[in-house]
A and B are shown apart, each in its own frame.
Chain A
Amino acid sequence: MDKDNITIDTSRFQEISISYLKKLSGDKVLTFDVLDQNGNTVFSAGQSLNEEVLKKKSEEGVKFFIPRVTETIGVYDREIIDMKKLKAIADDTATMYMDIRKTGRMSYEQFLQSNNQLAAIVDSLRAEDKTGGVLSLLKEIKEFDYITYTHSVNVGVLAMILVYKELSTGDKVKLAALAGYLHDIGKLRVDQSIIQKPGLLTYEEYKKVIEHTREGYRILDSVVDSTGKKVVPNIIKYVALFHHRKLQSPGYPFRDDDKDKTRETQYNELPDLARIMGICDMYDALTSATPFRMPMSVEKALRYILNLSNYLYSTDDVHRFVKVLGLSLNKGNPFLRLGDFIMLESEKVSLDTRKKVRVYEIARIEEISRINFLNPKVMIFYDVVRNKKLNNITVDLRYDTSRRIVRVFESTRIREMLLRQLK
């Protein structure tokens, strides 16, 4: 190896001393790659650091490089997580789930156990978040099998981080984590062959799957302590019951026909946590391999979720999710790109009816920065409601908060259509 010739891109990687790396060895697991001066991987993320190998490499003249953190905004996925603790939690959960599946019930002790599991996760969140690396938890958990229990842990961790990063107090963080952890518990009462079925579901099967929300509520509602008192907080039961409700689409459990309330009003009356859990659930489902499709990349999943604004979820909730977690999940990179075609939504008061109407415009991203990735500079060129081409107007969304991005177009067919409009 050529010792002095450094060919690695130093604008993207920084050299790191062997003494720093030594601190990272032991039971812990790397969440970033360590490379040598020629850009070859020495240790890869997910691996634990072996001190002896480290020493040997150093004697060979290897210099160590790790990815540079360019800005301090948001969380960057580079912290070290105690893998042992995590593995123990996942194993315990698996045992507990197997038990509940057999008996169809959750005992008071099992509820206490989940509570303690979550306390452990929340504690490790606090301990690890000094430089903000909590998201690595998710990455590690993903290594386990998806279908059984990791989805629960993932959704719990996602919700927990979301609430945590909104600077909520401890109780709220724990409640969010627990609610996410238990949201799909009703699935343990549904026939596993249906849940893991790779093809399309039949009507009868679908009807059984959607029952998992009600079953979840029932399981949690019947958890009592020795005096017969119900112990599960209501909000956690509601999350289990309502996390599949949607804004405009039906969702389930099915709503009763209520003439006074539209689907949207009914959706907006749901508890905050139940609505946001729906998005966390969706995100984890998209980025995990399921029996019927490959996992989506983080960037694609975030764009997909943005495209659900004002359709499956409210624009407020979607923006809350992507704003708080968007950068950290995508390793600090904005998931919107220069040149993307987007749809903007805003509200104005109609002069004729004096009622609020929604305005939709199509624009193209002209300038985007990491800090304001949800408020880029855009060129608006089409009014969708009036079906009219506009003279290209450049707007900096940082200063125009009335307009929000609700769609980013992926299909080549639509992009070509829009390109023709631009010409």
Chain B
Amino acid sequence: MLATARTVPDVLVFIASAAIILGGAVGVVASKNPVHSALNLIATLIGIALAFVEQEANFLAAVQIIVYAGAIVILFLFVIMFLGVDRNESIRLEPLAGQRPLAVGAVAVVTGGLIALMAAGGWYSGATTVIAPTDPSNDVGALGKVIFTTYLFAFEATALLLIIAVVGAVLLARRPPASLDAAQRADDRDVAVGEELT
């Protein structure tokens, strides 16, 4: 377990994964090309997978790579390609004068404050994992158990969250009825019946 036996390899892996995560995160924000941002995001997600491996959560590490790095970032890339890669947003534009230095200052203060509080504050040392200590070979079982007992309601609620997200996405992506007058709109409605939200 993490907190009980902290060996030198553990610390080295942690430093390596932290460096990958942070480097990727900075890259996401700093790259001008959105494709590079997406690729940097993959680095961050792989770093997180590494951190999971280090804590012996092998299943979560695999999920992290397959679902996030594999599927979700690829979707991001699709969207970026569809919208056009070469359309570089001019990030030099500053709508409010002085907002950039102000943002940097505010972020520095908040982050510094949080780090100071965390360094000073005592971490609760009882539970080192969300699920009870278990053997790493059966972490899928332990995860399944916790989902259907402690987090049963949260698990079911997530279903509703997904439904509403899909309905919302379909509704927003549908072509707007434009500024048609009432009669035209009624015609349009009859034609559009086939491609309605299902």
Decide whether A and B are members of one complex.
Answer: no
Q: Which residues of B contact A (CB under 8 A)?
A: none
Q: Which residues of A contact B (CB under 8 A)?
A: none
